[in-house]
């Protein structure tokens, strides 16, 4: 056959095949039209068109359909939480090789932060979805008529079909992550009643008018604490368990709070342990001085003005004279109740305990309450009852292991061939506090001189103790109270308030900073 005829007949075949397929499709369509209900039809129609569009995009090498969400800095007059969270979160996503970055540090921030510059983009990936954030900034403009303030927003671009994942999972993830980062960077605050400042500008009601606060820049950490390693581990584990058990507390119907009683001689690190706990958990500390309070209602008001994620510390609970006899307290309350003055009863132990157990249980999360005492034996049994304080922590005299921690902390040394064995041997035989040793370790920058100071201190102590033994049989009691413990100032009622000294120290540091930076132009508050 002539090739031209051959082509013609092939074209004819193709045409007739196409015509028959088209007829069948039309037939099927009209059949389907009659049988399949309208909603099902439109569902399949949308699904098929999406599928074919996707195939076509793939085939032509086109990007799948993207969508962009605009995250404005403000929503109306309020700040947009997603914008703020994105700003914080994206710091962790910025490519460190970027050619331009913004660098910031606020006065109360602990670390320097990097942030995006105008038009910078940051890529992210979440559950297999690729995302791109872009920071857009339109500078303030006073040229064309009215003043246009600076406008900032983020544009978040991703594959359109993943919108639900972004809204339901990714953005909540960004919000939570940003909160974690903020918590990490947050300076721990110390609240006391008569603090001269109130620099609590974080928008919370942590002060509530009753408390003044400063940043707690105390360097205490668990690593620096000289205490029994097993006990230290147990305390850290207990804190970890406490903070991660929110749901558990809810399930068993218990308030999410925990109580610790720290006891031991003066200078063994009880207050330092509280500061270490606060730094570890990033919880604020409220120093509740009971001697300043006169009624249960005042106490209740103060406690209600404390924030979640906080430690309330009541130092030297044994020194609060009114807290010795609970029965007497109860009698007083009954009297007051009959006078119809129940809200203004005198401050009592039962008032405190009731508040901790009752009212407070229903308002407030993640609270830790810590009592410290030098004399556990003097405490009201109500405080010691099992279940009242969840953990009793004994801070004891310095041990050889404790000395290792102190030497590393104060002198940066792990060992010393001459002094270490001698010091450790004497420490084992004596009752000496970490505070006393720390004080001597700080006396010189010269390692040998500092260690020699500790040896002299220990020898002196040893000699005194031997002297004490020699006369003990005559009149033990009298001699004991003329010894070191009595001279510590504690027994004489001149106890130094740890938290006030922290504030004083920080005040002094601030003033020194002003002198250095202000060239003599000092402002004294
Ligand atoms: N266990 C310790 N580890 C490290 N340093 C300690 C320890 N105990 C005391 N110190 C040092 O001694 C100082 C005083 O300790 P701290 O105020 O914590 O003792 P305390 O037990 O609270 O005493 P007090 O019963 O008098 O309140 C601390 O600032 C710290 O430098
Ligand atoms: Mg103390």
Q: Is the ipTM of this complex over 0.85?
A: yes
What letters, b where the CB count within 10 A reaches 16 and e where it falls short, cover 11-45? Answer: eeeeeeeeeeeeeeeeeeeeeeeeeeeeeeeeeee
**Residue-level pLDDT at 335:** 47
**Residue-level pLDDT at 193:** 79
Q: Whose CA is nearest to atom 24 of ligand 1?
A: 266
Indicate if 348 and 205 belong to the same structural domain: yes
Indicate if 179 and 214 belong to the same structural domain: no
The mean-pLDDT minimum among 24-33, 241-250, 388-397, 434-443 falls in 24-33
> Phi and psi for 133 in degrees, rounded to 5?
-105, 140
- Residue 524: is its pLDDT beyond 50? no
Single residue among 360, 394, 428 that ends a domain in this structure:
394
Indicate if 265 and 118 belong to the same structural domain: no
38-78 pLDDT per residue, tens: 656 666 766 676 677 667 767 766 666 889 999 999 888 78
282-318 pLDDT per residue, tens: 899 999 888 877 787 888 888 888 888 899 999 998 8
Atom of ligand 1 nearest to the CA of 406: 4
Which of residues 216 and 326 earns the better pLDDT score?
216
Residue 175 burial (C-beta neighbours within 10 Å; 0-12, 13-18, 19+): middle
Indicate if 249 and 284 belong to the same structural domain: yes
> Phi and psi for 21 in degrees, rounded to 5?
-65, -45
Going by C-alpha positions, the residue among 437, 412, 451, 409 that lies closest to residue 222 is 409
> Mean of the pLDDT values across residues 222-244?
94
The mean-pLDDT minimum among 72-76, 110-114, 475-479 falls in 475-479
Which of residues 198 and 141 earns the better pLDDT score?
141
Atom of ligand 1 nearest to the CA of 374: 25
Indicate if 156 and 207 belong to the same structural domain: no
What letters, b where the CB count within 10 A reaches 16 and e where it falls short, cover 397-421? Answer: bbbeebbbbbbebbbeeeeeeebbe
Write out the two tokens for 318. 């044994």
- Residue 484: is its pLDDT beyond 60? no
Q: Which domain holds residue 461?
A: 400-471
Q: Which of 269, 276, 370, 491 to mutate to test the pocket of ligand 1 (most atoms within 8 A of CB)?
A: 269
Indicate if 266 and 152 belong to the same structural domain: no
In a domain, 507, yes or no: no
The alpha carbon of 164 and the centre of ligand 2 are apart by a number of angstroms equal to 54
What letters, b where the CB count within 10 A reaches 16 and e where it falls short, cover 480-498? Answer: eeeebeeebebeeeeeeeb
In a domain, 245, yes or no: yes
Going by C-alpha positions, the residue among 416, 411, 405 that lies closest to residue 440 is 411
What is the C-alpha to C-alpha distance for residues 303 and 314, in angstroms, rounded to an integer?
12
> Is the separation of the CB atoms in 267 and 434 below 8 Å?
yes
Helices (H), 190-289: 229-244, 246-252, 270-281
> Mean of the pLDDT values across residues 330-334?
48
What is the C-alpha to C-alpha distance for residues 55 and 255, in angstroms, rounded to an integer?
56
Total of domains in the chain: 3
pLDDT confidence band for 440 (50 / 70 / 90) = very high
pLDDT confidence band for 104 (50 / 70 / 90) = confident
The alpha carbon of 498 and the centre of ligand 2 are apart by a number of angstroms equal to 6
- Residue 35: is its pLDDT beyond 80? no
445-462 pLDDT per residue, tens: 899 999 999 999 999 998
């Amino acid at each position: 056959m002539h090739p031209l005829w051959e082509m013609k007949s092939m074209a004819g075949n193709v045409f007739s095949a196409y015509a028959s397929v088209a007829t069948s499709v039309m037939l099927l369509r009209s059949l389907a039209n009659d049988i399949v209900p309208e909603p099902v039809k439109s569902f399949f129609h949308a699904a098929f068109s999406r599928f074919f569009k996707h195939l076509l995009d793939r085939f032509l090498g086109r990007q799948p359909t993207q969508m962009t969400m605009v995250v404005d800095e403000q929503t109306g007059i309020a700040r947009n939480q997603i914008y703020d969270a994105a700003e914080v979160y994206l710091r962790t996503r910025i490519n460190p090789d970027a050619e331009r970055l913004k660098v910031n540090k606020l006065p109360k921030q602990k670390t320097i932060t990097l942030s995006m510059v105008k038009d910078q983009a940051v890529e992210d990936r979440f559950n297999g979805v690729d995302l791109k954030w872009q920071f857009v900034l339109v500078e303030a403009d006073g040229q064309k008529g009215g003043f246009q303030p600076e406008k900032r927003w983020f544009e978040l671009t991703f594959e359109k079909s993943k919108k639900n994942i972004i809204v339901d999972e990714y953005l909540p993830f960004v919000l939570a992550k940003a909160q974690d980062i903020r918590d990490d960077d947050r300076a721990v605050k110390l609240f006391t009643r008569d603090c001269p400042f109130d620099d609590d500008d974080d928008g919370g009601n942590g002060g509530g008018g009753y408390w003044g606060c400063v940043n707690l820049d105390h360097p205490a950490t668990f690593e620096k604490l000289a205490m029994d390693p097993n006990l230290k581990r147990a305390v850290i584990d207990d804190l970890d368990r406490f903070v991660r058990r929110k749901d558990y507390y809810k399930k068993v119907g218990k308030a999410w709070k925990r109580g610790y009683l720290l006891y031991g001689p003066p200078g063994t690190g009880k207050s330092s342990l509280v500061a270490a706990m606060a730094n570890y958990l990033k919880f604020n500390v409220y120093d509740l001085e009971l001697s300043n309070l006169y009624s249960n209602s005042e106490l209740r008001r103060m406690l209600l003005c404390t924030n979640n994620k906080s430690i309330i510390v009541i130092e030297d609970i044994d020194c609060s004279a009114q807290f010795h006899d609970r029965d007497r307290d109860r009698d007083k309350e009954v009297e007051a109740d009959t006078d119809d003055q129940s809200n203004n009863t005198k401050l009592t132990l039962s008032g405190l305990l009731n508040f901790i157990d009752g009212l407070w249980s229903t308002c407030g999360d993640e609270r830790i309450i810590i009592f410290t005492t030098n004399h556990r034996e003097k405490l009201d049994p109500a405080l010691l009852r099992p279940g009242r304080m969840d953990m009793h922590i004994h801070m004891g005299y310095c041990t050889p292991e404790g000395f290792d921690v102190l030497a590393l902390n104060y002198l940066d040394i792990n060992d010393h061939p001459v002094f270490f064995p001698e010091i450790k041997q004497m420490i084992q035989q004596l009752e000496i506090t970490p505070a006393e040793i720390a004080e001597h370790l700080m006396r010189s920058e010269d390692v040998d001189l500092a260690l020699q100071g500790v040896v002299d201190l220990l020898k002196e102590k040893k000699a005194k103790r031997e002297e004490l033994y020699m006369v003990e049989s005559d009149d033990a009691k009298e001699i004991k109270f003329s010894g070191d413990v009595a001279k510590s100032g504690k027994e004489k009622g001149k106890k130094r308030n740890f938290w006030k000294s922290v504030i004083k120290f920080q005040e002094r540091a601030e003033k020194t900073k002003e002198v250095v930076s202000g060239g003599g132009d000092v402002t004294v508050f």
